Amino acid sequence: MKRNETREPRAAASGPASTVPPKGEVVAVTSSVVDVRFAAPPLPPIGHALSVLWDGDHPLILEVQLHLDEHTVRTVAMQDTAGLRCGVAARALGGPIRIPAGAAVLGRMLDVVGTPVDHGPPLPEDIPRAPIHRAAPPLSEQVAPKEVFLTGIKIVDLLAPLLRGGKAAMFGGAGVGKTVLVMELIRATATRHRGISVFAGVGERSREGHELWRDLEHSGVLSRTAMVFGQMNEPPGARWRVALSALTVAEHFRDQEHRDVLLLMDNVYRFVQAGAEVSGLLGRLPSRVGYQPTLASEIAELEERIASVRGAAVTSIQAVYVPADDFTDPAVAETFTHLDSAIVLSRDMAAQGLYPAIDPLASTSTLVDPRIVGARHFRLAERTRALIEKYHELREVISLLGIEELSARDRLAVARARRLMRFLTQPFAVTEYFTGIKGVSVALEDTLDGVEAILDGAADDLDEDALYMIGTLSDARARQADGARADAPGGSGAASVPADTSPTPEVAP
């Protein structure tokens, strides 16, 4: 990319130039913290951006965080400061960082300041830009939608349905399937809702960014997705602000083009972690567990901007890493308070091979209300939770005394709960290449019909294997029939269930 093409963040800033000193000078560099001295006040306000013209490939963008005295500001760098030295000129941009938005960013991958990082063509000179710092829509303009955002994922649509224009998060430790679930939701949005997706890669691995790019391209939805990345190897300032940059892109589609947007963030915990690093670099005293003292306000600043207005909505689905599987961690607990739906991924479910490994008891949604989802859906969700909870209670008895010691009624409840948990597993389209199992998307009515049949005993004749990793109950009956034909004398083994679709051996209850 040519040098003049990388200066878009400086040229795009807004604000009255007469009120901001045009030039300053770098006087101190400490890791990602850069002090800049101006000859005379007034200084650039907190949150405004500076551009450093140095010897690097791109202009270095800084964000003002502190006023040290009447001439000096302390800033946080959005890019690596290696090679930066004192005495280099800096220029105030007259406003916050402004990021490109609009149709031209669809199918593109940007960094925190809006520079393309996908080796594609430069963005148009006249592309609209928006500041990453802005207030949430006024309460008078916000609407409170009660429309369910269907995903085609059985366990989500049944037990933790998402709200169109709402906020949902997936909580889980390492390796339980958060990123896979996010990628499947991107695909589902593009194919089921024909909507626009904005993906924020916040402090995650570069490998995952490459995988996401390839998967979106392969599935044909890249042209309807904008990606903004601040990866794990980037400075804390980039990881701290990239979520706001992605949210700004989503807000443009909502406010200027009046289009529904799905905003996906992976990972909100890394956003908090980057804020803690910045707080430490700026010398602020930490609060609980080493987090920044402004933890609650930083999360609120992000979450409160995700809102619906008349005619368009931003639906947010966030992945939240749970350190050491501790759901009382302040970062995790603070995020919970802003959500409409919470999807909790369970390591125990993953160990049993029950994917998606969503905990049916811990996952919740404000939409599971008969006035919103309907009486039948509400009743089946409650019955599902009650049956699985009873099964979990009986597991201790089974482990100590054996299933033979249970009453006939309890043995029947255990059998139906196990069938139900296997029915709620589902193969994803984004994992087809690795598993060899074709991904399925299931309509809500088919999910409710299958759950109702299992709860009422109409599926007691089905083996557990037949219910594992399928879509509808009809698929399970077809699989069992194929298996029966294959086992019959003279039957063909070609009709048997593929080895990689059979459930993993059960762990001890």
Write the single-letter amino acid at 418. Answer: R
Q: Are 64 and 29 in contact (CB under 8 A)?
A: no
**C-alpha dihedral, 300 to 198 to 259 to 305, nearest 10°:** 10
SS3 track for 394-412: HHHHHHHHCHHHCCHHHHH
**For 292, phi and psi rounded to 5 degrees?**
-65, 150
Catalytic residue among 178, 187, 224, 479: 178
Side-chain-side CA neighbours of 281 within 13 Å: the count stands at: 23
Class of residue 313 by CB neighbours under 10 A (exposed 0-12, middle 13-18, buried 19+): buried
Concatenate the DSSP letters of all residues of 324-343 into one string: GG-TTSHHHHHHHTT-SEEE
Is 91 annotated in the active site? no
Concatenated DSSP letters of 346-372:
-HHHHHTT-SS-B-TTT-EETT-SHHH
Residue linked to tokens 């409160």: 304
Strand bridging mode 341-344 / 89-92: unpaired
Residues facing residue 313 across a β-bridge: 308
| Residue of 205, 288, 310, 376 with catalytic role | 205
Taking alpha carbons only, the member of 281, 276, 328, 325 closest to residue 299 is 276
- CA angle (121 as vertex; 237, 248 as ends), nearest 5: 40
The CA-CA-CA angle for residues 464, 473, 422, to 5°, reads: 35
Tokens representing residue 222 in the block: 């890249």
CA distance 419 to 380: 15
- 8, 63, 184, 204: the active-site residue: 204
How far, in whole angstroms, is CA 501 from its chain's centroid?
28
DSSP strand pairing (341-344 vs 72-77): unpaired
Taking CA atoms, 419 is separated from 362, 454, 460, 500, in Å, by: 19, 7, 8, 19
178 in catalytic set = yes
204 is catalytic: yes
Look up tokens 């000193």; give the residue: 21
CB count in 10 Å sphere of residue 281: 18
Q: Hey, which bits of 13-85 come out as E strands?
A: 24-30, 33-38, 49-52, 60-67, 72-77
Residues assigned a catalytic role: 178, 204-205
